[in-house]
Amino acid sequence: MTLSINQERLAHYFTTLCEIDSPGKHEATLASYLQDFFDVFPGVTTVVDGSATITGSDTGNLIVTIPGTAPQKTPLFFNCHMDVIAPCLGVKVVRHDNVFTSQGDTVLGSDDKAGIAILMEMTQLLFENQLPHPPLEYLFTTAEEIGLLGAKAFDPTGLQATMGFALDSTGVDNVIIGAPAAVYVHAEILGRAAHAGLNPEEGISAISLAGRVISGLPVGRLDEHSTANIGLISGGTATNIIPSTVRLQGEIRSHSADLMRFHRAFFEKVFSDIIHPVPQATFSLEFPEQYPALALGSDTPLLAITQRAAVSLGRNLDYIVAGGGSDANIFNGKGLTTAILGIGMENVHSSHESISLASIIRTLELTTAISTS
């Protein structure tokens, strides 16, 4: 089926979305705009959940429900996040040769507002063309960029669909079927303060100990399945005081649960081997979970739906194992089978971010085929 896509309407939706401020925990204005948009379609309902009490956002996650016109088909959901990474206030979209950028002093916000625009235009296509489709649910989450907070606070028991797609990756015709689990590394090293000029012999420098620890930790790419990083260090009070406390923050990611356990144990050994032999020095080390792994097997029914859509469009899709985490990791951990679709955004999380209208349209064609094939 050849669809008549209203390209300028799609471009208008995208531009409007990008120019609505929605930093993490401040998505209420955007959520209200989306409710007003979807509420005009017959039978479509919108609900804001109660996750704001958990996340601290000024709104909850927004769930849009579209009744199926082919109810025998498997219900599906589509997910996008409403928040945008900083700097994202006062975005002004520049369009040149059907490529969208910001003016250069903010991000553009195609991550993830291109995905939202796709779902808006797809809804128009479904109703205007009376296309048969299964029950559909759109899940617009809050505070994804600052810790996947909306997804973590989401209660999936109210959803009809148990499988779906997150529109939130670079590239087009990409399907992310694997992503690592991740844990934070939260460490504190305690030495002993002393005056650096009067009695340095009585001090135990937590910073010096931290340096020795960091030099012994494996960071970067640990193996073909795992990475690690120490990204934040804080400590000390003055140049003339031997520092008694240092805090380290980092992360470990792995596609393998066994390797994750191995690397956590190795981190613990490095801390213990260096700190315990120093009299009166101590440390604490914790590994809070960031998100679980995403791993979809080739026989996952969701991927059969994806492949049927690709065949109907005459396309080949790339099935990819990625290195990042997203709402999709959380949803899979909650029992919602979720793959991630590339939507064509480039140079995300920077003021050089861009996306082409052609990429948005190509993903729109795929999501519509998924919903109607």
Report pLDDT digits (tens) over 65-97: 999 998 789 999 999 999 999 999 999 999 999
173 is catalytic: no
Q: Is 251 exposed, middle or buried (0-12, 13-18, 19+ CB in 10 A)?
A: middle
pLDDT surpassing 70 at residue 1: no
CA nearest 310: which of 335, 337, 342?
342
Q: Identify any residues that bridge with 174 across adjacent strands, giving them in sequence order.
A: 318
Q: Per the residue annotation, which of 83, 121, 346, 353 is the catalytic one?
A: 83
Distance (Å, rounded) from C-alpha 111 to C-alpha 102? 13
14-46 pLDDT, tens digit per residue, is 999 999 999 999 999 999 999 999 999 999 999
For position 52, what pLDDT does the model report?
98
The pair of structure tokens assigned to 74 is: 């498997």
Does residue 57 contact residue 150 with C-beta atoms inside 8 Å? yes
Q: What are the tokens at 361?
A: 């349209």
Q: Is the dihedral of CA 37, 48, 368, 348 positive or negative?
A: positive
Tokens of 286: 């914790």
Question: Reduced to 3 states, what is the DSSP secondary structure of residue 208?
Answer: helix
**In 71-100, which positions are buried (b, 16+ CB within 10 angstroms) versus exposed (e)?**
eebebbbbbbbbbbbeebeebebeeeeeeb
Cβ neighbours, 10 Å, residue 286: 10
97 is catalytic: no
The domains of the chain, with CATH numbers, are 7-179+293-372 (3.40.630.10), 181-291 (3.30.70.360)
pLDDT in tens, 171-199: 999 999 999 999 999 999 999 999 999 99
Query: Could you say which of 27, 111, 121, 144 is catalytic?
Result: 144
